[in-house]
Amino acid sequence: MAASASASLRHHLLLLRRPRFALSPIPTFRASSFPRLHQRLFASAPSSSAVEDGESSSSPVMPPDGSSVVDVNPPRGTRDFPPEDMRLRTWLFDQFREVSRIMAFEEVDFPVLESEALFIRKAGEEITQQLYNFEDKGGRRVVLRPEITPSLARLVIKQGKSVSLPLKWFTIGQCWRYERMTRGRRREHYQWNMDIFGMPKVRAESELLQAIILLFERLGITSSDVGIRVSSRKVLQAVLNMYSIPEHLFTEVCVIVDKLGKLTREEIEKELITTGLSSEAVQGIIEVLSLKSLPKLEEVLGSNVEAVADLKKLFSFAEQYGYADWICFDASVVRGLAYYTGIVFEAFDREGKLRAICGGGRYDRLLSTFGSEDVPACGFGFGDAVIVELLKEKGLLPDLSRQIDDIVFPLDEELEGPASSVASSLRRKGRSVDLVEDKRLKWVFKHAERINAGRLILVGKSEWERGMVRVKILSTREEYEVKADELQ
Amino acid sequence: MAASASASLRHHLLLLRRPRFALSPIPTFRASSFPRLHQRLFASAPSSSAVEDGESSSSPVMPPDGSSVVDVNPPRGTRDFPPEDMRLRTWLFDQFREVSRIMAFEEVDFPVLESEALFIRKAGEEITQQLYNFEDKGGRRVVLRPEITPSLARLVIKQGKSVSLPLKWFTIGQCWRYERMTRGRRREHYQWNMDIFGMPKVRAESELLQAIILLFERLGITSSDVGIRVSSRKVLQAVLNMYSIPEHLFTEVCVIVDKLGKLTREEIEKELITTGLSSEAVQGIIEVLSLKSLPKLEEVLGSNVEAVADLKKLFSFAEQYGYADWICFDASVVRGLAYYTGIVFEAFDREGKLRAICGGGRYDRLLSTFGSEDVPACGFGFGDAVIVELLKEKGLLPDLSRQIDDIVFPLDEELEGPASSVASSLRRKGRSVDLVEDKRLKWVFKHAERINAGRLILVGKSEWERGMVRVKILSTREEYEVKADELQ
């Protein structure tokens, strides 16, 4: 234990000196306070502490009275989900699940802990440089997974012949990364993944794009808010072929050119030259990557190139699905994952304020890197952070207040038995019932408002002696007596 | 990397030599194969490999052709959830959520990774001896949480005055443990937790018990299948007071006597003596723990003891809630967690074949161990493993086949465009649609049966020229044509 407390912990300690709990009504979960809560929920900076990576601040310290105080924040870069944040998360995940159901995908899941071997790749991707990895007590190299695709691929290999292709799977899971000394970035997020295995044609990509667009539509987002940039890694492949650049440089080149926008053009060019490319090839690559029109691409690469045929097919499908206004060709899209081989895409806000909302592509050769036979595959990952920022921006966050059917309240301590029967019988009918005791009636009314209760059921002495309870409908203020055993 | 492959991996390598995927129909997810799948799902032994803790078997190895093969199994002691297993898990979690809703609890969640400090306790509990802990790259001691209660307590402290008590929270999350060299036990499981903060009376315990019993009832389990043993740690406290045993030995004694049933009576006695208890006190403790009748307990301890009053109140509530036939007093129940202070309980199968189904109790002094003011609290944890074993045992596992509304199938490759429109428009209406291509019609019919499709929508050339599609209702074999744009 550290002997001295950091500034933020000293603040905690001060708070701890005062009584922290009161049985008084403090309306916290009211709808009016919702925007603030959302801001807290998906802010990219950890809300916990102003001191970033001051290692001592997450260790327990000794307060003056000698008892140890545990840091009340979750580990640096991670989130708690108190009820109001959890309601938003559940709502969002329900949208993911509903779209997946509509698209006829099946849900799967994997351990958040995986073997490091699944994620060891040498192309210099950011994702593999920030692995949250460690050695377990048995000496195994393990990671808190940074992404879910390798686990999906692993399960596909494991299931082997016992499943019939194509497989359409989705999953929603937490992913982790570890960055040292970086301010204001989270170390975990949740990701919705949809993947199709065993479908070699761009039909698969078209289906994935429909899923993403159906989700946007359900959330109230339009094609004037959001677009999806589409390209194919085969574009870059064709350019490399034009300059006779060896096959083994392909992945590395993809990972480098994905940094366009983050690095300057000069830095990108320098990195490309370092891999051994001629400056002529580098210029050729950068020129092609600036193309934003499919006819232009066809002009440059010729129409016999797979990249062009795939993209034309995809845009023709888009017309038939009815989502052509959402997508556009943009050769600069390459995506940062090493394993993509064909079509790649990413959704972006048209105002250009946010990072990519989701991204994906085809990865036909991932399984062979695991020593198995390849299966054509494509998929996308859709995080829980940027989409919520966008919904907030557009005023599309729903009002997710708490909702309870009934509050049962005995007016007298000796009526706690009858109140138990009343609550129990309503619950057996499937109604959500909050049984409240040891409060003043005024508190109960405020509480009823706070949790949007439908009815207040008062168990009073004189009524109970006649086998009755008093019911108050909270929306209409209507009040009546009813026989306890006829209460519905 | 290890230079040689273990037996099981050699087996994998052999499998990998053969083609693993075929586009042929292999009906795997049929309802008839369900029991087998369930067996695999919740078996306590990892299904992956016969070799236990042979460390080399989960490392990548070099096959003869020089490419590395990744182990297709999840890390030792963890599970994948392929679709059929996931459906069962989702069904079970939905039951947990529905009961929690009925009881008016709010859902919360926490990171699966927590600070080790939250779980460091010195009472010798199994749970703290098997921490899945490690040091992160920033030098912090962290754990994959073994239980969720300390995180709940942490969030209650963090929320502080901003929330109004009582709090009724539930969560469903994965918990981890690390055991070396133990065969056939899993390292993770999911746990449903319900907790009440700020309710000092046994009303809180009564509410938790109703939640557990409502769950059993929803699952089709009766009080002749399952019972809930109830006692109070105050029973043991009263015995320790009778023998003037110092307060600080209480927790340790609880953790020791919880091992009754696992260890012999002689071993327990020896451990108790080692803590410094007189053999007279040890005999007294063991005698009281054998009591199974509340009147007997009252006789031994007197009626002024809190333990007796609490338990009498709880059993009186049980009558009023209507679940008295589910619960029984059993002084031997102490539970293995150090922090319980009052009522403790655990659900058991009356045939005595299985481990405890769930367990919980009151922990009024946990928050002060974290340096905060105490808040009265109680809760339970309900795992996903034993309940499924019990449901299997009783034949109560539901049939959870896949269900799809429509399959859209173009009879001709040139109709893939129209098929896209048809599928897209049905999906926009909220129907789940599987768009199938490049298969024979025979395969499509088998597939429809396998996924319990409601309708098959055939897009054929001559029909499409007239703006029509052919619909086949699969349950009745009824077949008709309908205008594509009138399809509902």
3-state secondary structure B182-208: CCCCCCEEEEEEEEEECCCCCHHHHHH
* Min distance A26 CA to chain B CA atoms (Å): 6
β-strand pairing of B141-144 with B132-135: antiparallel
A223 and A367 together in one domain: yes
**pTM of this prediction exceeds 0.90:** no
B230 plus B283 within the same structural domain: yes
- Tell whether A310 and A375 lie within a shared domain: yes
Q: How far away is chain B from the Cα of A241, in angstroms, using its nearest Cα?
A: 25
Beta-carbon separation of A114 and B23 below 8 A = no
- Of the candidates B467, B459, B400, B398, the one whose C-alpha atom is nearest the C-alpha of residue B433 is B459
pLDDT at res. A70? 87
Model pLDDT, residue A182:
60
Q: Which of B55, B224, B244 is nearest to A140 (CA)?
A: B55
Q: Which of A21, A75, A174 sits opposite B114 (nearest CB)?
A: A75
Q: What is the CATH classification number for the domain harbouring A313?
A: 3.30.930.10
Asked if residue A3 belongs to a domain, the reply is no
Interface test with A, best of B26, B72, B89, B199 (most A CBs within 10 A): B72
> Do the beta carbons of residue A213 and residue B427 sit within 8 Å?
no
In a domain, A31, yes or no: no
The Cβ of residue B457 has, within 10 Å, a number of other Cβ atoms equal to 24
Answer yes or no: do B144 and B259 share one domain.
Answer: yes
Hey, is B194 helix, strand or coil? strand
* Tens digits of residue pLDDT in B274-314: 999 999 999 999 999 999 999 999 999 998 999 999 999 99
Tokens coding A190: 């949740």
Point out the residue among A78, A164, A402 whose CB comes nearest to the CB of B113.
Answer: A78
Check the annotation: does B285 bind a ligand: no
The 3-state DSSP class for residue B63 equals coil
Residue B230 and residue B201 share a domain = yes
Residue B159 and residue B289 in one domain:
yes
Compute the distance between CA of residue A350 and CA of residue A229 in angstroms, rounded to an integer: 11
Same domain for B453 and B378, yes or no, is no
Of A338, A367, A394, the residue that ends a domain is A394
pLDDT at A123: 85
Q: Which of A144, A420, A426, A432 to mutate to test the interface with B (most CBs of B within 10 A)?
A: A420
pLDDT at B339 over 90: yes
Please, are residues A355 and A387 in contact by the beta-carbon 8 Å criterion?
no
> Pseudo-torsion of CA B71, B73, B77, B83, nearest 10°?
160
In a domain, A273, yes or no: yes
What span, in angstroms and rounded, lies between the C-alpha atoms of A232 and B86? 33
Contact yes or no for B433 and A102 at CB 8 A? yes
In a domain, B248, yes or no: yes
User: Are A81 and B22 inside 8 Å of each other by CB?
Assistant: no
Listed residues A366, A394, A422: the one ending a domain: A394
What's residue A435's pLDDT?
98
Is the Cβ pair B81, A108 closer than 8 Å? yes
| B195 marked among binding-site residues | yes
Residue A18 lies in a domain: no
Residue B433 lies in a domain: yes
DSSP structure class, residue B171: E
Name B345's bridge partners: B230, B360
pLDDT band at B254 (very low <50, low <70, confident <90, very high): very high
Q: Which residue of B has its CA nearest to A425?
A: B321
Q: Indicate whether B197 and B311 sit together in one domain.
A: yes
CB distance B421 to B448 below 8 Å: no
Q: What is the pLDDT of residue B182?
A: 60
pLDDT by residue (tens digit) across B22-78? 333 333 333 333 333 333 333 333 333 333 333 333 434 334 444 568 899 999 999
The encoded tokens of residue A29 equal 């979960």
Residue B159 CA: distances (Å) to CA of A5, A12, A486, B193, B195: 21, 12, 40, 19, 15
d(CA A433, CA A422): 10
A-B Cβ pairs (cutoff 8 Å, strict): 332
Shortest CA distance from B443: residue in chain A: A164
| Final residue belonging to a domain, choices A394, A420, A451 | A394
Query: Taking Cα atoms as reference points, which of A152, A78, A167 lies closest to residue A110?
Result: A152
For residue B184, the model assigns a pLDDT of 65
Domain assignment present for residue A56? The answer is no
The answer on A371 and A243 residing in a single domain is: yes
Subunit contact A203:B427, Cβ cutoff 8 A = no
pLDDT in tens, B359-381: 999 999 999 999 999 999 999 99
- Give the ipTM: 0.88
CA distance B48 to B86: 18
Write the CB contacts of A187 (distance below 8 Å, at least 6 apart in sequence).
Answer: A75, A76, A77, A78, A132, A176, A177, A178, A179
Would you state the structure tokens that stand for residue B219, as one six-digit string? 């699952």
User: B82 vs A155: CB contact, 8 Å cut-off?
Assistant: yes
Show the CA angle centred on residue B335, arms to residues B329 and B336, nearest 5°: 165
Of B446, B435, B378, B432, nearest in space to B404 by CA:
B432
pLDDT value at residue B138: 87
Instruction: Encode B217-228: b = buried (16+ Cβ within 10 Å), e = exposed.
Output: eebebebebbbb
Domain count along chain A = 2
Min Cα separation A446/chain B (Å): 11
Helix spans in A186-278 (H): 203-219, 233-242, 250-257, 265-274
**Structural tokens at position B190:** 């999911």
Q: In chain A, what residues touch B140 (CB-CB under 8 Å)?
A: 55, 58-59, 75-76
Cα separation, A443 vs A27, in Å, equals 10
Amino acid B69: pLDDT: 82
Please check whether residues B305 and B330 belong to one and the same domain.
yes
pLDDT over 70, % of chain B: 85
Residue B371 lies in a domain: yes
User: Would you say B147 is a known binding-site residue?
Assistant: yes
Tokens of B215: 């769950």
pLDDT for A4: 40
State residue B390's pLDDT score.
97
Residue A407 has φ and ψ, to the nearest 5°, of: -110, 130
Does residue A441 share a domain with residue A386? Answer: no
**Is the CB of B132 less than 8 angstroms away from the CB of A136?**
yes
Find the CATH number of the domain harbouring B422.
3.40.50.800
CB B464 within 8 A of CB B473: no
Burial pattern A383-403, b for ≥16 Cβ within 10 A else e, equals bbbbbbbbbeebeebeebebe
Is the peptide bond prior to B63 cis by the omega test (within 30 degrees of 0)?
no
Domain identity same for B413 and B386: no
Structural domain range at position A251: 83-394
> Quick one: pLDDT at residue A69?
82
Residues A79, B157: C-beta atoms closer than 8 Å: no
| A172-221 confidence digits (pLDDT tens) | 999 999 987 566 679 999 999 999 999 999 999 999 999 999 999 999 99
- The sign of the CA dihedral A45, A48, A51, A57 is negative
Contacts of B370 in chain A (CB under 8 A): 69-70, 72
Long-range contacts of A176-181 (CB under 8 A, 24+ apart): A176/A112, A176/A132, A176/A143, A176/A144, A176/A145, A176/A146, A176/B113, A177/A127, A177/A130, A177/A131, A177/A132, A177/A146, A178/A130, A178/A131, A178/A132, A178/A133, A178/B136, A178/B137, A179/A130, A180/A53, A180/B137, A180/B138, A181/A52, A181/A53
User: CA-CA distance, B168 to B152, in Å (whole number)?
Assistant: 11
- The ranges of chain A with pLDDT < 50 are 1-66
C-beta separation of A40 from A48 below 8 A: no
